[in-house]
């Protein structure tokens, strides 16, 4: 199994297109950092306009590396699924299209094993993408903007986290994001198994994620009460929950706390269930599939 | 020609069929390939050759029948069988963005081989690609890709090699080289080779045994030498009442010469001299003959499969 | 009741409305101002607790700076603090500075303490402050509570508790209560994680009144503080 995994990773990282995603992430992050470096105060003034009338707002200290990283994550974790789909959607269908799938499947390797290895390889790719993003978004932002407390804007209000209470939250958030993105990878993977050409699975995954995200974010009771809790896109944003603290009786944020850890746990469980469902379905379909490509 | 084959079947196919929705691509196909054979699998495009070979290589699930290879049932011993089988289906698609060496290395490792660089380079040497080992496959010619495909199929030193249209897209020199390679594999390396083609000539030059398939069904199977014997003819008969005719034939000595009876067509293999006797006998039993078409050779017959409305006027011969 | 007694009582009652009592009030305010004027500047360290419905922030270690006549700043040098704009009302000096009419509003008992109530009406109609009401501990000359009504920002209240710095009229604890505008986040800026709880409803029920409490730990009184700090 390990040999097969090495082969799959070798193939993925030998393709020039794999590096497009890494380059795209770096470009987006640097653009955001540059923009905030020059115009960060204006952006914050917009974000904090709700409280600027009543409070003195120290824009210079609010705009620090931790907040910049949060802003980047907010943006990128909507776009990263598309980059994940690029590889996960290609991992089987791309081979079918190239014609190499039929050669692969004449080797003495079980189809189940091959498929699981291919999925694992796409998850590893996803993790590397995430680590790359973490390094650039967090550590580079800290380098450019320094560190301080973090202020986040929610629909219900603003929350502040002390400087020393932030880093572990980011680690937890990245860990969660890894699972969220693996869910997208699993969907793309399932669609890849069903197609002979990678364009279809990639586009279909992107469309599904976009449509379901809209459904998840739209506040329409008909969807809110029925499908929304079960859509995986509704749970992909739960990484933010690591940045929401509990308040004490006097309304102050409690250091080191998480507002609703059980909810995050539930969301995580749902995502894992989706991953298991998508991958099992892919394996079942693939075992019976006639390879005509 | 192939080395003299030992008589143990390395492939035993019984009643194999494959149904794709409305299309019956392979229909009740039975044949066997003996150890040491170069077995020619002949048929026009769309006859069912690729589908059959894909079933042998477990790329497609049969709808019915049984596949036994190396004495094992493919359904239950797939991995064990595939360790001993190397195959190239249609054109050998490889990873264009990898070099020749990287390609063979990838597939060697997938086959469970722990081959060092030396051994892999030997394989590439065997197919004449050692000098281009470090070039990306996208820069290879069609012939080079074909040869690399063979090298990949042979990398784990399999006992049985299955080649689907290996001369497709090759120039005459490439075709000759491929032919020599197949013969070399059989004679010097004692491999069993199953090679499919739509070119009768190619099969005639390499194979010792062969099968003709059309519309998914076996038309004829046997030793190449016997089938190409010009004394024998294939005679095609059509009548107004095929069912009745079949009953009559089955009840007569002509049954022994009947090779095939499908779609209202009857194929006999017989000497030219016996044709009038057949005609007389059938007419006397009030069989209403609409067509009696003797083929001068296997080639004529094979060609007729592609142009069914043409016929050679053999009565003049 | 005879004639003389009636007149005496009338004079007494008129005395209570007498502006001469207002002078008493003026003197009180003057005395208060003198006491406050002892301190021309200070740098204090303290803890600030914010309790505003739409703000969830941790208690913060802050530094408070004051310089006569009206420079006041709360800073968080280790992190971020959102300081309400009404915080400068803690600096009472600005309340008792300037031109205003003083009205004696009698006495009131607040938390078991009998306090003198003085209303200050700024003479300048263009000023932001419309009315200030001071609740004064006459004996110790300390303002215990101040309620200020403004044109733009509604009414806010400051409550002060004193300890070892009472001789300088510098409090140990200050609670500032104010109205805050309804929190509005620009749409589409961020997608929230909806964990299924009904937090928004709870917050709306809490209303838009906020409170900031500063507990002073230490003062450096009359320290030279550069203007750049403000």
Give residue-wise pLDDT tens across range C189-210: 566 777 776 555 555 545 668 8
Q: Do A241 and C191 touch (CB under 8 A)?
A: no
Dihedral (CA of C21, C24, C28, C29) sign: positive
Per-residue pLDDT of C139-170, as tens digits, reads: 888 999 999 888 877 888 999 999 999 898 89
Question: Confidence band (pLDDT; 50, 70, 90) for C45?
Answer: very high
Q: How many angstroms separate the CA atoms of B302 and B279, rounded?
A: 23
Q: Do A51 and C183 touch (CB under 8 A)?
A: yes
pLDDT at residue number C184: 66
Question: Residue C1 above 60 pLDDT?
Answer: no
Q: Do A105 and B58 touch (CB under 8 A)?
A: yes
On chain A, the residues whose CB falls within 8 A of the CB of C57 are: 158-160, 252-253
Picking from C15, A106, C205, the residue whose alpha carbon sits closest to that of residue B54 is A106
Question: Confidence band (pLDDT; 50, 70, 90) for C95?
Answer: low
Asked if residue A29 lies in contact with residue A76, where contact means CB atoms within 8 angstroms, the answer is yes
Q: Do B109 and A100 touch (CB under 8 A)?
A: no
Question: Residue B309 above 50 pLDDT?
Answer: no
Question: Residue C81 above 80 pLDDT?
Answer: yes
Angle between helices A65-88 and A167-194 (to 10 degrees): 20
Question: Which residues have C-beta within 8 Å of that of residue A219, sequence separation ≥ 6?
Answer: none
Q: What is the mean pLDDT of residues A149-173?
A: 91
Predicted complex ipTM: 0.83
**3-class DSSP state for residue A200?**
helix
Q: Determine the residue of chain A that is closest to B18 in CA distance.
A: A290
* C182 backbone dihedrals φ, ψ, rounded to 5°: -55, 135
Residues from B in contact with A at Cβ < 8 Å: 20, 54, 57-61, 78-80, 82-83, 85-98, 102, 106-107, 109-112, 149, 152
Per-residue pLDDT of B185-217, as tens digits, reads: 898 889 999 999 888 888 888 899 999 998 899
Omega before C124 within 30 of 0, i.e. cis? no
Q: Do B61 and A98 touch (CB under 8 A)?
A: no
Least confident stretch, A192-196, B223-227, B232-236, B309-313? B309-313
Token reading at B225: 């030498």
The distance of A94 to chain B (nearest Cα, Å) reads 11
Q: How many angstroms separate the CA atoms of C58 and A251, rounded?
A: 9
Mean pLDDT of all residues in chain B? 86
pLDDT at residue number B191: 93
**Which contiguous run of DSSP H or E holds residue B103?**
helix B100-110
Question: Residue C131 above 80 pLDDT?
Answer: yes
Q: Determine the residue of chain A that is closest to B59 in CA distance.
A: A291
Q: How many angstroms separate the CA atoms of B79 and B60, rounded?
A: 15
Contact between chain C and chain B (3 or more Cβ pairs less than 8 Å apart): no
Q: What is the mean pLDDT of residues A212-222?
A: 83
What is each CA distance from B36 to B17, B76, B152, B186, C145, in whole angstroms?
26, 25, 21, 7, 108
**Within an 8 Å CB–CB cutoff, is residue C58 touching chain A?**
yes
Instruction: Tell me which range, A131-135, A215-219, C105-109, is most confidently predicted by mean pLDDT.
Output: A131-135
Asked if residue B266 lies in contact with residue B238, where contact means CB atoms within 8 angstroms, the answer is yes
Q: Do A106 and B87 touch (CB under 8 A)?
A: yes
Q: What is the mean pLDDT of residues A104-108?
A: 91
Question: Residue B94 above 90 pLDDT?
Answer: yes
Q: What is the mean pLDDT of residues A13-20?
A: 89
Q: What is the mean pLDDT of residues B144-167?
A: 91
Picking from A264, A232, A291, A238, the residue whose alpha carbon sits closest to that of residue A106 is A291
On chain B, the residues whose CB falls within 8 A of the CB of A292 are: 54, 60
Q: Do C190 and A154 touch (CB under 8 A)?
A: yes
Question: Residue B315 above 50 pLDDT?
Answer: no
A window 243-282, beta carbon within 8 A of C: 244-245, 247, 250-255, 259-260, 263-264, 267
The distance of C32 to chain A (nearest Cα, Å) reads 29
Token reading at C7: 């007149």
A window 6-35, beta carbon within 8 A of C: none
Question: Confidence band (pLDDT; 50, 70, 90) for A70?
Answer: very high
Question: Residue A183 above 50 pLDDT?
Answer: yes
**3-class DSSP state for residue B157?**
coil
**Within an 8 Å CB–CB cutoff, is residue A217 touching chain C?**
yes
pLDDT at residue number C9: 60
Asked if residue A102 lies in contact with residue B99, where contact means CB atoms within 8 angstroms, the answer is no
**Which contiguous run of DSSP H or E holds residue B29?**
strand B23-34
Q: Determine the residue of chain A that is closest to C180 in CA distance.
A: A54
What does the DSSP assignment read for chain C?
--HHHHHHHHHHHHHHH-HHHHHHHHHHHHHHHHHHTT-SEEEEEEEEEEEBTTEE---EEEEEEEETTTEEEEE-SSS---EEGGGGGG-THHHHSS-EEEEEEEEEEETTEEEEEEEEEES-TTSSEEEEEEEEETTTTEEEEEEEEESSS-EEEEEEEESTTGGGT-EEEEEEEEE-PPP-PPTTS-PPP--S--HHHHHHHH-SEEEEEEEEEEEEET----GGG-
**Beta strand pairing call for C155-162 and A55-56:** unpaired
Question: Residue C14 above 90 pLDDT?
Answer: no
**3-class DSSP state for residue A235?**
helix
The distance of B98 to chain A (nearest Cα, Å) reads 7
pLDDT at residue number B313: 30
Least confident stretch, A278-282, B110-114, B157-161, C152-156? C152-156
pLDDT at residue number C125: 78
How many other CB atoms are there within 10 angstroms of residue B2's CB atom? 21
Question: Confidence band (pLDDT; 50, 70, 90) for B34?
Answer: very high
pTM as predicted: 0.82
Q: What is the mean pLDDT of residues B258-280?
A: 87
Token reading at A154: 């929610």
Asked if residue C212 lies in contact with residue C87, where contact means CB atoms within 8 angstroms, the answer is yes
Q: Determine the residue of chain B that is closest to A4 in CA distance.
A: B110
């Amino acid at each position: 199994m390990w040999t097969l995994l090495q082969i799959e990773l070798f193939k993925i990282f030998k393709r020039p297109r794999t590096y497009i995603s890494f380059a795209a992430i770096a470009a987006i992050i640097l653009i955001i950092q540059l923009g905030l470096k020059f115009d960060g105060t204006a952006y914050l003034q917009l974000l904090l306009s709700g409280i600027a009338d009543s409070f003195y707002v120290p824009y210079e200290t609010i705009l620090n590396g931790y907040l910049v990283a949060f802003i980047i994550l907010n943006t990128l974790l909507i776009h990263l699924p598309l980059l994940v789909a690029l590889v996960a959607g290609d991992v089987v269908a791309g081979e079918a299209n190239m014609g190499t799938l039929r050669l692969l499947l004449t080797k003495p390797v079980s189809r189940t094993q091959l498929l699981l290895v291919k999925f694992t390889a796409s998850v590893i790719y996803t993790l590397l993408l995430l680590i790359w993003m973490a390094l650039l978004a967090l550590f580079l932002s800290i380098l450019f903007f320094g560190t301080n407390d973090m202020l986040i804007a929610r629909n219900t209000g603003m929350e502040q986290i002390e400087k020393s209470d932030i880093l572990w939250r980011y680690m937890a958030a990245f860990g969660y994001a890894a699972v969220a993105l693996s869910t997208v990878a699993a969907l793309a993977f399932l669609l890849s198994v069903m197609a002979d050409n990678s364009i279809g699975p990639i586009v279909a995954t992107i469309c599904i994620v976009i449509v379901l995200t809209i459904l998840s974010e739209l506040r329409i009771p008909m969807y809110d009460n029925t499908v929304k809790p079960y859509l995986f896109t509704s749970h992909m944003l739960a990484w933010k929950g690591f940045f929401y603290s509990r308040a004490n009786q006097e309304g102050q944020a409690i250091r080191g706390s998480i507002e609703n850890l059980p909810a995050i746990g539930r969301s995580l469980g749902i995502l894992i269930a989706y991953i298991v469902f998508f991958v099992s379905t892919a394996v079942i379909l693939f075992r019976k599939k006639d390879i005509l490509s | 020609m192939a080395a003299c084959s030992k008589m143990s079947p390395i492939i035993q196919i019984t009643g194999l069929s494959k149904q794709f929705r409305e299309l019956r691509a392979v229909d009740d196909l039975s044949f066997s390939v003996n150890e040491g054979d170069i077995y020619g699998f002949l048929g026009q495009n769309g006859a069912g050759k690729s589908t059959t070979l894909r079933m042998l290589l477990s790329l497609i699930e049969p709808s019915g029948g049984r596949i036994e290879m190396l004495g094992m049932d493919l359904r239950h011993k797939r991995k064990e069988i595939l360790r001993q089988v190397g195959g190239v289906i249609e054109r050998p698609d490889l990873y264009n963005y990898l070099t020749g060496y990287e390609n063979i290395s990838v597939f060697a490792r997938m086959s469970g081989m722990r081959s060092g660089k030396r051994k892999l380079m030997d394989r590439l040497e065997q197919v004449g690609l050692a000098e281009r080992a470090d070039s990306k496959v996208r820069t290879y010619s069609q012939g080079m890709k074909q040869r690399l495909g063979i090298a990949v199929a042979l990398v784990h030193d399999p006992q049985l090699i299955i080649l689907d249209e290996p001369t497709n897209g090759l120039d005459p020199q490439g075709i000759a080289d491929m032919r020599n390679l197949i013969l070399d594999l059989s004679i010097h390396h004692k491999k069993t080779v199953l090679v499919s083609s739509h070119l009768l000539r190619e099969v005639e030059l390499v194979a010792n045994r062969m099968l003709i398939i059309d519309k998914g069904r076996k038309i004829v199977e046997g030793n190449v030498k016997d089938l190409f014997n010009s004394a024998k003819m294939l005679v095609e008969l059509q009548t107004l009442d095929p069912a009745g005719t079949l009953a009559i034939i089955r009840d007569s000595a002509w049954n022994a010469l009947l090779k095939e009876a499908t779609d209202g067509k009857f194929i006999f293999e017989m000497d030219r001299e016996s044709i009038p006797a057949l005609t007389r006998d059938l007419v006397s039993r009030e069989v209403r003959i609409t067509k009696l078409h003797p083929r001068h050779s296997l080639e004529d017959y094979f060609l007729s499969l592609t142009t069914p409305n043409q016929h050679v006027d053999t009565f003049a011969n | 009741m005879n004639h003389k007694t009636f007149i005496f009582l009338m004079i007494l009652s008129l005395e209570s409305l007498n502006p001469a009592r207002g002078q008493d009030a003026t003197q009180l305010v003057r005395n208060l101002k003198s006491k406050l004027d002892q301190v021309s500047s200070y740098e204090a360290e303290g803890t600030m607790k914010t309790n505003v419905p739409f703000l969830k922030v941790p208690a913060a270690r802050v530094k408070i700076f004051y310089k006569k006549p009206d420079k006041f700043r709360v800073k968080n040098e280790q992190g971020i603090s959102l300081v309400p704009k009404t915080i400068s009302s803690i600096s009472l000096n600005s309340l008792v500075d300037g031109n205003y009419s003083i009205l004696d509003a009698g006495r009131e008992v607040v938390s078991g303490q009998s306090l003198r109530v003085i209303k200050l009406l700024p003479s300048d109609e263009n000023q932001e402050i419309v009315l200030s009401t001071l609740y004064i501990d006459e004996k110790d000359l300390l303002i215990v509570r101040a309620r200020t009504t403004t044109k733009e920002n509604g009414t806010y209240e400051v409550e002060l508790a004193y300890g070892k710095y009472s001789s300088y009229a510098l409090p140990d604890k200050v609670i500032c209560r104010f109205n805050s505008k309804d929190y509005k986040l620009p749409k589409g800026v961020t997608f929230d994680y909806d964990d299924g709880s009904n937090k928004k409803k709870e917050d709306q029920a809490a209303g838009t009144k906020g409170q900031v409490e500063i507990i002073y730990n230490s003062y450096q009184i009359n320290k030279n503080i550069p203007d750049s700090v403000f």
